[in-house]
Amino acid sequence: MNHFLPLGRFSFGMGDRFAHQGKAQLRACILAAERGADVVPVWNKSNREHMFIGTDPSSVRAEADAAVEALDWKKPYHVDADHIRLETVDRFIPHSDFYTIDVADSIGEPAETAAVKAFVDRHPELVGTIAIPGIDRPFQTSRADVERIVGNCLLAVQDACKIYRHIAKAKRAANFITEISMDETDSPQTPPELLVILAALADGQIPLQTIAPKFTGRFNKGVDYAGDIKQFEKEFNDDLAVIAFAIKQYRLPPSLKLSVHSGSDKFSIYGPIRRALDRFSAGVHIKTAGTTWLEELIGLAEAGGDGLELAKDIYACALDHVDNLCAPYATVIDIDRARLPSAAVANGWGSRQFVSALRHDPACREFNPSFRQLLHVAFKIAAQKGDRYLDALKRHEAVIARNVTQNLFERHMKPLMLDL
């Protein structure tokens, strides 16, 4: 396969909006390695985040390289150009070796009838009874079913091919990891749809290593999964079975695995995910972004004094701009505004109260998911504070770093990749 850079079984996408927590994040991978699990660190930042914060993709590469050097990390690590498209990928090219090609916008756009017909003619194996090891009931599909599925996804696949080839050409001899994401769509992709999508991607000769479908249920930012856990578990298992089948059937890279976007903080599905991975000896890429920024706020609040003041100040500003902050994230947050404390109430809190409301500890009675979700989307406010925010990160580095590492290791890597 051309432009193929191998990716390990377990990999963890770590977002770091302000680029100060690279070492604290890498420390979580070191702790996992000490416990016997190789978790490949991947630093990801989307074009949208770069725009919001005013950063350049080179800063993510610099941060990753610096963390790796400082902690003497000898194993692989990567820098992910997250959710890129043809219009946005170019400035990532010199700095990234992992590309998340986002084709969600083309899902559901009707493809050319002739191309759909040609695809189904080429793939008679997708029509009829498809028995897949690990799935109890074989899929039953008619030609019309397959045509409908292909009609919905073929344009997205063609888009992905175009973007992949653009990157491959620009990277010249350098290898990279290719992910295709379609998670930011309206409806989830079913396992039979995933199979068709993989067949089409294989036709396009993309050396795909991770794929991010939209799963059933809600993956809200920074809080737990909301949806039918049983149904999620069944679909996740079926997706793994489909991937194992497609790897053989369509000669996709043997390391191909699922990527779970908005994967942080989904504590109630980590058990089902872990069991499914074990069952299929499969790997997974867990992509997280904002959970680390919230640990910065928790660390600041825990530090007390000027740190706590700054955290309260950010919350008060967020409350003033709640509509603007929430609008771009309407489909990935569920904030109950009646549960948001007023600025006056929050200003009266001590460190312990602020931290208890914000830290994602579902067993804690004071944990407030609405408060947490509003602050999750409020990183723009911190960006506006400029040096006041960045200086506070440096001043309170120790307490923040401890929270960042513990959050990733204890609450994420351990249940997903270590403990059974």
Q: Which chain residues interact with Zn ion by CB under 5 A? A: 183, 261
Q: What's the min distance (Å) between Cβ of 181 and Zn ion?
A: 5
CA 272, CA 320: separation in Å to the nearest integer? Answer: 39
Specify burial of residue 377 (Cβ count, 10 A radius: 0-12, 13-18, 19+): buried
| Structure token pair of residue 164 | 């992949």
CA 283, CA 210: separation in Å to the nearest integer? Answer: 10
Q: Dump strand ranges (E) for 24-154.
A: 39-46, 78-84, 98-102, 128-130, 139-141
Which residue, 183 or 265, is less far from Zn ion as judged by CB? 183
Task: Give the residue nearest to Zn ion (CB).
Answer: 261
Which residue, 134 or 217, is less far from Zn ion as judged by CB? 217
Task: Give every CB contact of residue 26 below 8 A, 6+ residues apart in sequence.
Answer: 41, 67, 68, 71, 73, 77
Task: Give every CB contact of residue 10 below 8 A, 6+ residues apart in sequence.
Answer: 37, 38, 39, 40, 283, 284, 416, 417
DSSP 174-187: --BEEEEE--SSSS
Which residue, 111 or 258, is less far from Zn ion as judged by CB? 258
Q: What's the min distance (Å) between Cβ of 307 and Zn ion?
A: 31
> Alpha helix locations (H) across 281-362?
291-303, 305-320, 322-326, 343-347, 351-358
Half-sphere exposure of 281 (CA within 13 A, CB side): 2
Which residue, 222 or 299, is less far from Zn ion as judged by CB? 222
Which residue, 46 or 407, is less far from Zn ion as judged by CB? 46
Which residue, 27 or 266, is less far from Zn ion as judged by CB? 266
Which residue, 183 or 235, is less far from Zn ion as judged by CB? 183
In 3D space, the residue among 73, 86, 98 whose CA is nearest the CA of residue 23 turns out to be 73
